[in-house]
Each structure stands twice: as C-alpha cells, then as structure tokens.
Amino acid sequence: MEIHALIQSLLDQSMECEMIDREDEIYARNQLMSLLQLAEFPEKMDGIKGVSIPEILEQMVQYAFEKRMVGILDADKEIFSSKLMNVLVQRPSDVNRRFYRNYEKDPTCATEYFYQLSQNSNYIQTKSIAKNISYKTDTPYGELDITINLSKPEKDPKQIALEKEKKQDVQYPKCLLCEENEGYEGRIGHPARSNHRMIRLELEGEPWYLQYSPYVYYNEHCIVLSKEHRDMKISRKGFERLLSFVEKFPHYFVGSNADLPIVGGSILTHDHYQGGNYEFAMARADEEYSFQMKKFLNVSAATVKWPMSVIRLRSRMKEELIQAADYILTSWKGYSDEKVDIHAFSGDTPHNTITPIARMREGQFEIDLVLRNNRTSEKHPLGIFHPHSDVHHIKKENIGLIEVMGLAVLPARLKEELEEVKAYLLGRSERVKDYHLSWAQELKSKYGTEWSDDTAEEMLRREVGLKFQRVLEDAGVFKRDTNGQVAFRCFCESL
C-alpha cells in the first residue's frame, strides 16, 4: 500500500479511538513523516478502510525496511514500530489524568480506558495473541484453561546469531519491570517500550505502578509493580498491599508468585503482582473442610477442592484477615510432616512459602493461600512438588501464579507435536516424538477405535487438559489421596 495512505489510515484510526484529537492530526502526521523520512504529503489523501492498527504498522515497518531505514533484525523492526506508535500515545501524565478522571466515575471505567488504550497503542500485542490456541477442559476441579503460547514467534538460527553478535552489555533498565521501561526505545535483548505507559498507584504508603502484560493470557491481564527494584518477598506487607489493591479495584483479582526458586515465577528480582478481570477455575472451586482459628474469630477459613493445597480466608475485617494470613504464612514456613515428605528446611535453606491470591467477593475480602514447597530429591531433581518427569512432555516449566489458578501456559512446540500425535492415533503416521510415544500408545489403548477425524481433536485436547490436571496435582504439597488430605487437616488443626 502507498505509504501516505498508510499514514492517513493510522491517523484516522487513532482519532477514532480517541488517542489523539482532530487538532493533533497535522502535528502527528509531521512526526510520522519525520520517522519515515518523507519530505511532503499529498494535499488530499484518504486512508484505507478495514485495516487494523497492527496491520498498518507492519506495512509501515516493511516500507522502512525496504528503504533501508530499519535493519534486518526483528528487534530493529519492533523498535521502529513502537516509535511510530509513540507519536500517537499521550504522555504518561496525560494518561494518568484521564485514568483518574475515569476512576472518579467508577474503577471499572478507569481500567477499561487504560486496557483499551494499551491495545489501541499496540503495546498489547493483539495480533500475536490471536495466534494462541486456547480452550477449556472439564475436570473434577472445574474447567481448566489451556493455552498453547504461540504469541512469541520462534526465531530462526540466523536471527539468534545476529542478535547475539549485536547484543549490548547495558544494565538500563535493570529488568523488564522497572519504571525506566516507560517510553524506553529498546535494544537487542530488551523489548521496545516507546509506546508503553504506566498508571501511578499508592499501596500502603508506597509508590507502585499498574500496567498490562504485552502478551495477555486472560482478560485485562495486568501487572502491579513496585517503583523500587527489589526482590519479591511474601510477607505481611505483601498481604496488606494485595488487599489494598482489590479494595481500590474490587472488580479485579490480584496475586503474587511465590518467592522461592522452582515454585516462583520467572522474575523474582522485582517485587510485583499479577491480576486482572477474570475468574479462574480455582476461584470457582468449592470449599471442602471448614475450620475456625481461635485467634481470628472474624475470619472464616476452609480448604478448597483443588489439585494444589489451598486455604481460603474470608472476612469483612481487612486487618484481621491480614493478621490471619500472616499467621498461616509464619506457621507454614516452619511446618514439616515427614509422613507426606514435607520438610520446611534442609539445614538453613528454607523450602516452604505461599502463593497468595486476593479478591473481593460479595462485599468481603477473600484471600487464597496456596501452600508451596521447593525441595528437590534424587528422584525429582527439578522439584518434589513440581511437574514430575512423566508429564514433562506436556509441561516441564515452573508452576507460577497463573498455572496455580488453573490456566496452563504450554510451549509453542506442542502445536506441531500434537498434530503428529493425532496423525499417529488416526493411523496415518508412525512419526511421534520419543517423549510423546508412550502417552500416544496409552491413548490408543484407552480409546481403541474411537479416534476419527471428527473426534480426534476434541479427545486430544481433553487429554492434554487432564495432563495439566496431573501437573497441578504433582505441585500440590498435600496430595488428594486419603493420607494427603488427613495430613492437610492436621496442618489446619494446628492453626
């Protein structure tokens, strides 16, 4: 498409979704022309209808590449695309003013505005996210969410080699979550963030930020991060901040990854939480065993029917709920039960921690405390309470906050590998990855001749979901068998 028409299309769409006003059109056009090294613009130019902002940006970047304004690396193209979009996104102070004007009407209005802006600005990678394979699987614990993550395309070896060659040894920003990412151009090895904006928050007297994940896994998948670059820590202060956040945004849940390796998330070096406007299967799970803690009479407590070991606390009294959560955390950190292989320490090395998730429900504060242990053994070198080796062909990575709540984020390799398994089950091929072979043979034996073109996809998706159920059961510290549940009740009674 003609470059001037693309510019006009981008301007038209930006005005339509209220990123810029009509008075900003000529200024924004001139800024885009400067980036694209254009000397003039036709007096009358119509935009192209029916083309999305991500598609327009792709074509503008392709034009820049063909004119040798942009290098061959994907990172170069992403940096340029982000710069183009930054022309059309308001400054952080303006975005924050609009956010809080909307907040005065209703917290939902504020987050809806900011989420829409983050999509319109192409900060949230909507086109890439649409490639993900997502579905639900029925299990005894409710519907688990399954996602095969295709939003980050795999790079070819030439790209990887070039990136390695050009990578700079730069320590700014310190990590992907630091405040310095807002408006940062990006470089090889650090994503483009020119079009990135953050909302300023105060949580328990501290400065924090709200942003959305560029690759959202569920509706309004947000990240809440500390202004200070410091390690994650599960503590009383953390419980205070989580409940403070849901008090400010009662339509959102918010939770924290655990603070130990193996059971924690990918970034433990920057204190942050994840939240959003979504109800996971764990939030819908029934309570099983109710108990009363004598020190906290205004707090209801119960275990949850979930493959992992969850204690749910609920109260209208925020301070008492925080005290109860902190009491359970302190108790769990020192708790051992050798009968079910739970050891709190190896020498001075701690193993017990918690993954907490907070929400508002029917006017009450609610917090789920998921008990975690990161001990390893000779039999399970990646973690005793971690996906065991027989499910690694589906999921080998750490079980973080999102998986804990019931959403599997599975590797991109599974798209092609599951097609191979399906062809094997339909008798069309014998080619299956070695690590899937025993599972494929087991499925063939389990279903016999039931496999057909009409049913194969559905049955295979269900079986992947059941594997994820097993992954969560492996990560549970108190198992779902009789011994495990008796031991879980013993811990609860000790409280």
- Cα 139 from Cα 146, distance rounded (Å): 12
Residues 315-371 pLDDT 10s: 999 999 999 999 999 999 999 999 999 999 999 999 999 999 999 999 999 999 999
Of the pLDDT bands very low, low, confident and very high (cuts 50, 70, 90), residue 299 is very high
Alpha helices in 334-385, H assignment, sequence order: none
Q: Which two structure tokens, joined as six digits, stand for 23?
A: 């008075």
Q: Kindly tell me the burial class for residue 34, based on how many C-beta atoms sit within 10 Å of its own C-beta (0-12, 13-18, 19 or more).
A: exposed
What's the order of all strands across the beta sheet hosting 133-139? 133-139, 142-148, 407-410
Are the C-beta atoms of residues 276 and 220 closer than 8 Å to each other? yes
Of the pLDDT bands very low, low, confident and very high (cuts 50, 70, 90), residue 1 is low
Q: What is the pLDDT of residue 163?
A: 63
- Cα 427 from Cα 441, distance rounded (Å): 12
Residues 47-74 pLDDT 10s: 888 899 999 999 999 999 999 999 988 8
Q: pTM for the whole thing?
A: 0.94
Q: What percent of the chain has pLDDT over 70?
A: 97
Residues 427-455 pLDDT 10s: 999 999 999 999 999 999 998 878 888 88
Domain 133-408+478-494 indexed as CATH 1.10.10: no
Is the pLDDT at 162 greater than 70, yes or no? Answer: no
Secondary structure letter of residue 314 according to DSSP: E
Mean pLDDT check: name the lowest of 43-52, 140-149, 457-466. 43-52
- Cα 137 from Cα 413, distance rounded (Å): 20
Q: Which two structure tokens, joined as six digits, stand for 395?
A: 């999921």
Going from the C-alpha of 453 to that of each of 172, 337, 459, the distances in angstroms are 52, 49, 11
Q: Which two structure tokens, joined as six digits, stand for 119?
A: 């999509």
Residue 257, number of CB atoms within 10 A of its CB = 26
Name, in order, each residue with C-beta under 8 angstroms of 400's C-beta and a sequence gap of 6 or more: 257, 258, 264, 265, 266, 355
Location of structure tokens 């000529």: 26
Location of structure tokens 């483009």: 192
Q: What percent of the chain has pLDDT over 90?
A: 88
- Cα 248 from Cα 256, distance rounded (Å): 17
Q: What is the pLDDT of residue 155?
A: 56
Are the C-beta atoms of residues 271 and 233 closer than 8 Å to each other? yes
Residues 225-283 pLDDT 10s: 999 999 999 999 999 999 999 999 999 999 999 999 999 877 899 999 999 999 999 99
Q: H or E segment at 209? A: strand 206-212
Long-range contacts at 169-177 (CB < 8 A, ≥ 24 apart): 174/229, 174/270, 175/229, 175/267, 175/269, 175/270, 176/267, 176/270, 177/223, 177/225, 177/267, 177/270, 177/272
Burial 345-365 (b: 16+ CB within 10 A, else e): eeeeebbbbbbbbbbbeeeeb
Boundaries of every domain in the chain: 3-95, 133-408+478-494
Q: What is the pLDDT of residue 154?
A: 60
Of the pLDDT bands very low, low, confident and very high (cuts 50, 70, 90), residue 207 is very high
Residue 321 one-letter amino acid? L
Cis ω on the peptide bond leading into residue 350 (within 30° of 0)? no
Burial 202-234 (b: 16+ CB within 10 A, else e): ebeeeebbbbbbbebbbebbbbbbbeebeebeb
Round to the nearest angstrom and report the end-to-end CA distance of the chain: 68
